[in-house]
Structure 1
Amino acid sequence: MSDTTSRLSLPLVQPGQAQKESTHNEALAILDIAVQASVLAVGTTVPPADPDLGAAWILGAAPTGDWAGHAFALAAWTAGGWRFVVPREGMMVWHGGDRHIVRFSAGTWASGVMSGTNVTIGGQIVVGARRPAIANPPALLAGATPADSDARSAIVAILDALRGHGMISA
């Protein structure tokens, strides 16, 4: 039997273990950091001198002091001192300072980047797959009359694309 869980490295109570409450409390402390995580800053490398209880940070590539050896981890100040959570691929954290999501991907934290196939608001897709390019209307020759049909077709194509993306009403 492993000593920790596979995803969050939570300590497991072992058969016949004394002081089971210590293992249980350590697991709760880690869950408190990792579940619905929220941090004050991203990429920090120097621990604060007097952190508030429960305050957390995403560490940079070369943290120092009490944070040394915990690159890119979540660090949180608890009643028992510093606790660290190693990020997993796809882990998302709320960055309170910038007020957006930070996501761990390919070994680093990406700030404010979201990916998906569409954006839906109120059940309506407002941004979907990219539409084909719309050609510019042909240039008018000197002395020529406006090519009303071509201009109208281009405007209709633009409006159709905006409707298709949900950016204007149908």
Structure 2
Amino acid sequence: MTDEDSARLGLPLLAAGQAQKELWHNEALTLLDLAVQATVEEINRNAPPAAPQPGQCWIVGGTPTGAWSGQAGAIAGWTVGGWRFVAPRAGLRVRHLPSGQTAVCDGSGWRIGEVRASSVLVDGVQVVGARAAAITVPTAGATIDAELRGCVDAILIMLRKHGLIAS
């Protein structure tokens, strides 16, 4: 980034008295078109596709080749003018079209399909909150009811499997 680029997305800025400002302005709009509400065809692809369509984007893998060399982790977008790249920055997020999952750049790489929240609400009602402490599996008692114990065990297994309680 230089003083001629915006701080967050590295968009080219106009300078006072600059000739051909439309070129800089159009380049900034092209990069915004790739980064705002971004969607990607594939994540961690290292080689450019053979026949990209204008507006299609990919997240470049860790060992890029060809026209993508030196752009590891960037969003690569095909435009009428060729490849454009939006550098990865913490907080940048894209939607992976084939899976519908979200990928978020954490500053060191892309985290795919993770949802981070302190709770999940459905129709305004909290249905999932923070993980609770482990629940002890019953092992004995004055009266042993095998059917009830099996049911409780199954419930505990599923709660652990879904990460709602600790093991």
User: Scaled by the length of structure 1, what TM-score is found?
Assistant: 0.81
Correspondences of 1:63-142 after superposition (within 5 Å) = 63-139=64-140
State the Cα deviation string for residues 32-64 of structure 1 (Å, max 9, x = none).
000000000000011111111111000000110
CA contact (8 A) 2:88 2:107 kept: no
Number of residue pairs matched by the alignment = 153
Select the structure of larger CA radius of gyration: 1
In structure 2, distance between residues paired with 1:145 and 1:5: 71
* Structure 1 letter corresponding to 2:20: Q
Return closer, same or farther for 1:127/1:145 CA change in 2, 3 Å cut-off.
Answer: closer
| Residue deviations 1:108-131 (CA, integer Å, cap 9, x gap) | 111111222111121111110112
Distance 1:106 1:5, change over 3 A: closer
- Provide the C-alpha distance between the structure 2 equivalents of 1:4 and 1:128, rounded to a whole number of angstroms: 42
Whether the 8 Å CA contact 2:11–2:28 is kept in 1: the answer is yes
Report the Cα distance in structure 2 between the residues aligned to 1:105 and 1:18, rounded to whole angstroms. 38
How far is the alpha carbon of 1:106 from its aligned partner?
A: 4.0
Partner of 1:61: 62
CA RMSD of aligned residues (A): 2.6
Match of 2:20?
Answer: 19
Shift of 1:132: 2.0
> Which blocks of at least 5 consecutive residues in structure 1 are unaligned?
none
Shift in alpha-carbon separation, 1:32–1:126, aligned structure 2, 3 A: same
SS at match of 1:26: helix
Q: Is residue 147 of structure 2 the alignment partner of residue 146 of structure 1?
A: no
Distance 1:89 1:145 in 2: 57
User: Which aligned segments of 4 or more residues in structure 1 are displaced greater than 2 angstroms?
Assistant: 144-147
- CA deviation profile, 1:2-22 (whole Å, cap 9, x unmatched): 201000011001010011111
1:125 counterpart SS class: strand
